[in-house]
Amino acid sequence: MHKPSQSALPKTGLAGLTENWRSDLQAGFLVFLIALPLCLGISMASGFPPSAGLITAIVGGLLVSRINGSHLTINGPAAGLIVVLLAAVQALGEGDAMAGYRYTLAAIVVASVIQVLMGVFKLGQLSSFFPTSVVHGMLAAIGIIIVATQTHVMLGVTPEPGSLFAIIAQLPHSLLNMNAEIGLISFLGLLILVIWPLIGSKIPAPVLVVLVGIVFAWHFDLADGSVVGGSTFMVPLPDDFLGSFYFPDFSKMASVAFWEAVLSISLVGSLESLLSASAIDKLDPYKRSSDLDRDLTAVGLGNLLAGLVGGLPMIAEIVRSSANIDSGAKTAWANFFHGLILLLFVILFAGLIQRIPLASLAALLVYTGYRLASPATFARVREVGKEQLFMFVVTIVGILATDLLIGVVLGIVVKLAIMLARGVWPNNLFKIHFTIKQQDNDTLVVKLLGSAVFSNYLPLKTALAQLDSGKTIIFDCADGYLIDHTVMEFIDEYQQNHVAQGGQFQQVGHALETFSDHALAARLMTADDRK
């Protein structure tokens, strides 16, 4: 499959708006329907006011869509940042939720400056330094935490404050003392999310979850407080959206907790955004490639503005971006329209948002969390190799027992230890050895010497990116010692992109044995070839 010619690609800028406004407006509207409940739910779960997520999505659509380096991504708040933000609000606020929120806004502003600098100095590629299994472990741990915390909201019970394990331990108590009306709304929401995709309807499942929740909340008089205590169970959005803006408080910049929040927000936000943008490029029907450094700069600027006025941090969000593509979007104007429609809706119909029960939003988040940490996720990691599952589990346990940063670092340390135990030379851990030679006018041979692993392959990635797209690339790993799963994934992705652009790619050298039957499993030089 060849990459479409430049003449066949959708136009950009104002010319692209004129050419594609119908398809982009339709896609933007459908994405808005999905984004509205998710923005509200992510905000509440993060310890922020519900308006914070709306502010972020509006900024992501109206501003970031005009300056980013991607084509079809949707920028907005993401479930992956819930854990980081809630921890920051609790640690910085020390029991005062509003104060913690404003301190966290300050951390978002500082983290956004770091993101902008990373993009300006072209450090977006550093996301490749994180091993694949550690990244998956981080996302799975986030999923587990979301499920554990939001299940209480689904049951209509507020757990006693405490550690994550204490929150999990209170699940049986919440189940036994659940509010029947709230539980019914939540259960129906989950049921819709599971069954609706099987029906194949074009109506997004989150929209139906919210509509059903509104109907049952009206039936149970939840908004009036006659059954279960009133607005505690509903979205507490102010009538005047302009009154939703809050400003950051930088008075805790000298504290360790503040900088831990800054590092966590910048690390997780940048990593998720870059990974999502790369994933969306693979789904783009026009096979366009994002400028990841420019995209990171744009997201950083969006976060800077959002943090200054009370919003959550944003990323290039993969679920909404996938829906954007499925809805027929062609340019970044779809992202703009999604933000514009959201802005108009919250100004004109704030009363309707106030009728959404928190139980419906919690059901959306629990479903999202389950997908991040489902048994199928564990099975896929296990298929790649036992060592990948070990790193995956270590990362999850580390995050659950400590915090996100420590858990990720622990996963990376375990990965490095495994590679040393397998005989990787210490001086090869962070330095890769390879050559690129021209065999003839149309053929280049990339020869690997020693090991190619997550911690050293960035120079190889950079060198391959500079090769002509129409050439035949021969990747010779006969003299390789160890190629880990992260690098195997990169080679496979590079091969697919190179072939899609009209080139050819071959792998030669059969001296390596794999650690599992998975096509992209880590591989090591055989015992005979080590002699």
pLDDT at 331: 95
Residues 38-56, buried b or exposed e (16+ Cβ, 10 A)?
Answer: bbbbbbbbbbbbbbbbbbb
List the one residue out of 446, 449, 408, 452 whose CA is nearest residue 429.
452
Q: What are the start-end ranges of the H helices in 200-317?
A: 205-219, 256-283, 292-309
Q: Please tell me whether residues 127 and 151 are part of one structural domain.
A: yes
Residue with the two structure tokens 């102010």: 238
pLDDT tens for the chain, 531 residues long, are 445 544 478 988 999 999 999 999 999 999 999 999 999 999 999 999 999 999 999 999 999 999 999 999 999 999 889 999 999 999 999 989 999 999 999 999 999 999 999 999 988 877 778 898 999 999 999 999 999 999 999 999 989 888 889 999 999 999 999 999 999 999 999 999 999 989 888 888 999 999 999 999 999 888 654 333 334 688 888 888 777 899 999 999 999 999 999 999 999 999 999 988 888 988 889 888 889 999 999 999 999 999 999 999 999 998 899 999 999 999 999 999 999 999 999 999 988 998 999 999 999 999 999 999 999 999 999 999 999 999 999 999 999 998 888 999 999 999 999 999 988 989 899 999 999 999 888 899 999 999 999 999 999 999 998 998 889 999 998 888 899 999 999 999 899 889 988 899 998 875 566 777 887 888 777 644 444
Q: Please tell me whether residues 61 and 172 are part of one structural domain.
A: yes
Residue 447 pairs with which residues in a beta bridge? 435, 476
Report yes or no on 216 lying in a domain: yes
Report yes or no on 2 lying in a domain: no
Report yes or no on 521 lying in a domain: yes
Q: Please tell me whether residues 392 and 270 are part of one structural domain.
A: no
Q: Please tell me whether residues 59 and 171 are part of one structural domain.
A: yes
Report yes or no on 139 lying in a domain: yes
Inter-helix orientation angle 132-155/485-500, to 10°: 100
Q: Please tell me whether residues 366 and 378 are part of one structural domain.
A: no
| CA angle in degrees (0–180, nearest 5) for 286-292-294 | 110
DSSP structure class, residue 244: G
* CATH number for the domain that contains residue 477: 3.30.750.24
Report yes or no on 338 lying in a domain: yes
> Exposed, middle or buried by CB within 10 Å (0-12, 13-18, 19+), for 314?
buried
Q: Please tell me whether residues 65 and 159 are part of one structural domain.
A: yes
Domains identified in the chain, total number = 3
Query: Of 331, 347, 371, which closes a domain?
Result: 371
Report yes or no on 1 lying in a domain: no
pLDDT at 4: 52
Q: Please tell me whether residues 398 and 337 are part of one structural domain.
A: no
> Exposed, middle or buried by CB within 10 Å (0-12, 13-18, 19+), for 275?
buried
pLDDT at 228: 38
Report yes or no on 6 lying in a domain: no
Inter-helix orientation angle 132-155/375-384, to 10°: 170
Query: Of 421, 438, 459, which closes a domain?
Result: 421
Q: Please tell me whether residues 72 and 46 are part of one structural domain.
A: yes
Residue with the two structure tokens 């652009």: 501
Is the whole model's pTM more than 0.85, yes or no? yes
Residue 474 pairs with which residues in a beta bridge? 445, 506
Q: Which helix (H) or strand (E) holds 177?
A: none
pLDDT at 225: 43
Q: Please tell me whether residues 336 and 245 are part of one structural domain.
A: yes
**What range does the domain containing 385 cover?**
374-421
Question: Under a CB-based contact definition with an 8 Å cutoff, are residues 90 and 263 in contact?
Answer: no
Q: What are the start-end ranges of the H helices in 46-131?
A: 51-59, 65-67, 82-93, 97-120
Q: Please tell me whether residues 204 and 133 are part of one structural domain.
A: yes
Q: Please tell me whether residues 140 and 108 are part of one structural domain.
A: yes
Q: Please tell me whether residues 182 and 282 are part of one structural domain.
A: yes
pLDDT at 2: 46
